[in-house]
Amino acid sequence: MTYQWVDCDRSTVSNRYDRIAHLIPFFDKLFFVPWNLRKNAAKQLGLSRGDAVLEIGCGTGLNFPHLQDAVGPEGRIYGVDISRGMLRKAQDLGDSQGWQNVQLTECDVASYTAPEPLDAVLFSLSFNVMPHHRAVLRHVWNQLRPGGRLVIMDAKVPPGWSSKIILPFSIWLMKRTMLGNPLIHPWEVLAEVADKVEMSESMFSSYYICSTTKPFSNAASDQQDTGEAYRIAAE
């Protein structure tokens, strides 16, 4: 049987996440998100004190404590999300912790340009929500400095016979909750731009972290027109 996914438009995604912003800690428990998954994803970014990192789909800021530990107060954390409700929670968290180095932006990340070259980029449970993920990936890849790290952390359908049972349920559940397309394989998409992709799995291969390092190459390649990314995404 062939399963299909119908992508939602931006307003639908934004409104859905506005409504569930206060439930994100509950969803982490409902979907059995491993307790150390976020910390391990941040570790894979290879951040140092003073670095600049962008989190795409930063949500309520659950990863910010780990990013703060890595970059320190002298570093910069840029968070982008299309949900005002999620960003409001993230801002409340930042205010409560007294963080002065977090800049939040409500927008489609495909049109976002960071104020400076980035040392790392993190997609945390967000890549599969974006129907234009190829365009977004290439857009932020062009903003990542050579030698910088890009990490995608998300859930997936485990391999083997169980996938025949889990996949239809995952599609049904995602459409009613997080709107993440379980048919997308981000590690394969990342391999389209990266020379080498590393991947680790946890929770019986239901969660993964895939990562890569941007190679040093000529400037023309690093600064290619992002319009090409939009054309690729439309294919």
Residue 22, amino acid? H
Domain spans of the chain, in order of start = 10-234
Query: Please, what is the end-to-end C-alpha distance for the chain in angstroms?
Result: 24
Strands 144-155 and 118-124: parallel
User: In angstroms, what CA-CA distances link 59 with 39, 135, 219, 224?
Assistant: 16, 20, 33, 29
User: Does the pLDDT of residue 199 top 70, yes or no?
Assistant: yes
pTM over 0.85: yes
Tokens 């439309």, residue?
Answer: 234
CATH of domain 10-234: 3.40.50.150
In the prediction, which pLDDT does 162 show? Answer: 73
Over residues 36-46, the pLDDT tens digits come to 999 999 999 99
Over residues 205-233, the pLDDT tens digits come to 999 999 999 998 744 344 444 344 333 33
Tokens 């960003």, residue?
Answer: 87
Over residues 56-97, the pLDDT tens digits come to 999 999 999 999 999 999 999 999 999 999 999 999 999 999
- Reference 190, options 225, 154, 151; nearest CA is 151
Q: Is 122 left (phi over 0), alpha (psi -120 to 50) or beta?
A: beta
User: Does the pLDDT of residue 123 top 90, yes or no?
Assistant: yes
Residues 190, 127 contacting (CB under 8 angstroms): no
